[in-house]
């Protein structure tokens, strides 16, 4: 108990929770360690039991401790080992919270109604042959009409991460190098690590990958580049056409990069307010473009389109035929219905407008409080904090959960961040903005925040 008492600087719920958070993150309290009882610690600190109880609730909300009834309260054990490494570090955040802004998932109330589409699904499954095309013709036609460049081949797979994984299988081998955004999507880092592929992290700014750093990384002869052209997770940055053209030009400067493949993850395209953009406009034979419908139409659809040069896409299709074969044509029929039916199109347009409004409301509220963070695209925004663990615990003490920034960083960084899923905000954001402002720090040079008042170019609503 004395260790806990010595660490407490402020005898408030947030102060006590922050002290325990530091002890746990530093390893001075290990998984499985039993904590003092609420009454014992309250007496030792000369505070009320309610004060300690509120601190315990905050720590439990972010997955650091767990109550086991009469047995006591313990530091939470490690996350399930079947989760990838970076997912394990985030697993503790997936608990109930008064205001949960940690998940990075779409608002269920803004997903289109599946009922009408389900009622119109044909009984295709009873007549399909194994040798039929893996993509139903009507969906393929819609995808081709909306693709950001003339793709030789387009197929459908089981979500964006499935598309990224299968793309890497055909372009990279053990020991190869792949450029990744930093910060970036944590499962990309885990996937590359499991494949034995060296990550070349490149910083991002308000318009995506920084060209000068990208050029430096290209000098190391990477076999591929993984980037998010719109609503970048976690920063919310969207790439304008000029930046995409500049990156494509850099890829064409040296012969050593002539075979480098670009893998684009357009995971939030349908709810992004930025125009569609792809390096495939300038490098059509070297770009695998992935368009996921999880954020816009529902994560459980598990469906994404993958398009690019036939030499690569056809290899992916052939390999899938020796595994899952194809993505359910019933699911494809549902997606086709959602992409072409007027009611569903209107629902997606309204969701896009609402996400934009929520991002704007948070950005405006923080600006009014003296923190001009700018406005992100999509559902997430990226904010600098003085200390990640303290920020998470302090916000949890206010009933607000956010995601820590460290899993999104390719390597350890002296700077700390949090990711806030602004797309999950409802109603008046003043309370959340005040709580978030209390943990922010002033960004230094090269900060990963949108410029004050920034807005994606050529904002679209249809």
State the Cα–Cα distance between residues 205 and 207, nearest whole angstrom.
5
Please say whether the dihedral angle defined by the alpha carbons of residues 17, 19, 25 and 30, taken in this order, is positive or negative: negative
Of the pLDDT bands very low, low, confident and very high (cuts 50, 70, 90), residue 67 is confident
Q: Return all residues near 89 (Cβ < 8 A) that are at least 6 apart.
A: 79, 404, 406, 407
State the Cα–Cα distance between residues 198 and 343, nearest whole angstrom.
45
Of the pLDDT bands very low, low, confident and very high (cuts 50, 70, 90), residue 70 is confident
Higher pLDDT, 224 or 28: 224
Q: What is the pTM of this model?
A: 0.82
Of the pLDDT bands very low, low, confident and very high (cuts 50, 70, 90), residue 119 is confident
Question: Phi, psi (5° rounding) for residue 361?
Answer: -60, -45
Q: For residue 177, with 0-12 CB atoms within 10 Å meaning exposed, 13-18 middle and 19 or more buried, which class applies?
A: middle
DSSP state of 259: T
Identify the pLDDT of residue 132.
74
Q: Return all residues near 162 (Cβ < 8 A) that are at least 6 apart.
A: 302, 304
- Mean pLDDT is lowest, of 83-92, 280-289, 436-445, for 83-92
Higher pLDDT, 411 or 163: 163
Average pLDDT over residues 250-273: 94
Of the pLDDT bands very low, low, confident and very high (cuts 50, 70, 90), residue 377 is very high
Of the pLDDT bands very low, low, confident and very high (cuts 50, 70, 90), residue 89 is low
Of the pLDDT bands very low, low, confident and very high (cuts 50, 70, 90), residue 202 is very high
Question: What are the residues facing 66 on neighbouring strands?
Answer: 74
- Are β-strands 99-101 and 400-404 bridged in parallel, bridged antiparallel, or unpaired? parallel
- Mean pLDDT is lowest, of 37-46, 60-69, 124-133, 290-299, for 124-133
Of the pLDDT bands very low, low, confident and very high (cuts 50, 70, 90), residue 223 is very high
Beta carbons within 10 angstroms of residue 68's beta carbon: 9
- Tell me the domains of the chain and their CATH numbers: 2-75 (1.10.10.10), 128-341 (3.40.640.10)
């Amino acid at each position: 108990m004395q260790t806990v008492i010595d660490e407490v600087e402020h005898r408030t719920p947030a102060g006590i929770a922050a002290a325990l958070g530091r002890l746990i993150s530093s390893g001075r309290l290990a998984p499985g360690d039993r904590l003092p009882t609420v009454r014992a610690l309250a007496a030792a600190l000369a505070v009320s039991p309610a004060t300690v109880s509120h601190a315990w609730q905050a720590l439990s909300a972010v997955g650091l401790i767990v109550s086991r009834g009469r047995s006591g309260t313990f530091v939470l054990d490690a996350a399930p080992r079947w989760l990838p490494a970076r997912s394990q570090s985030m697993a503790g955040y997936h608990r109930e919270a008064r205001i949960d802004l940690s998940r990075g998932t779409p608002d269920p109330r803004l997903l289109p109604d599946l009922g009408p589409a389900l009622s119109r699904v044909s009984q295709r499954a009873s007549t399909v042959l194994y040798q039929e095309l893996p993509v139903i013709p009507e969906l393929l036609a819609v995808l081709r009409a909306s693709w950001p460049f003339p793709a030789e081949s387009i197929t459908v797979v089981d979500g964006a991460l499935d598309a990224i994984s299968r793309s890497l299988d055909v372009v990279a081998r053990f020991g190869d190098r792949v450029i990744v955004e930093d910060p970036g999507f944590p499962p990309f880092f885990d996937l590359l690590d499991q494949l034995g592929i060296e990550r070349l992290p490149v910083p991002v700014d308000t318009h995506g990958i920084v060209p000068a750093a990208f050029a430096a990384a290209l000098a190391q002869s990477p076999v591929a580049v993984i980037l998010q052209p719109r609503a970048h997770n976690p920063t919310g940055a969207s790439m304008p056409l000029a930046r995409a053209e500049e990156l494509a030009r850099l890829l064409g400067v040296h012969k050593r990069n002539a075979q480098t493949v670009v893998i684009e993850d357009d995971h939030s395209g349908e709810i992004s307010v930025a125009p569609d953009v792809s390096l495939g406009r300038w490098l059509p034979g070297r770009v695998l473009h992935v368009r996921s419908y999880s954020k816009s139409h529902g994560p459980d659809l598990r469906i994404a389109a993958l398009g690019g040069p036939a030499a690569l896409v056809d290899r992916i299709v052939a390999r899938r035929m020796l595994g899952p074969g194809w993505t359910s044509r019933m699911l494809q029929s549902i997606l086709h219905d959602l992409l072409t039916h007027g009611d569903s199109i209107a629902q997606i347009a309204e969701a896009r407008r609402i996400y934009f409004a929520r991002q704007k409301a948070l950005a405006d509220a923080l600006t009014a409080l003296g923190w001009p963070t700018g406005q992100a695209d999509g559902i997430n925004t990226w904010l600098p904090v003085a200390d990640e663990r303290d920020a998470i615990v302090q916000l949890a003490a206010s009933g607000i959960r956010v995601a820590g920034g460290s899993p999104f960083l390719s390597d350890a960084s002296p700077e700390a961040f949090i990711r806030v899923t602004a797309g999950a905000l409802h109603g008046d954001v003043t309370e959340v903005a005040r709580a978030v402002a209390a943990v922010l720090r002033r960004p230094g040079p090269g900060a990963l925040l949108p410029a004050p008042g920034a807005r994606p170019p050529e904002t679209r609503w249809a």
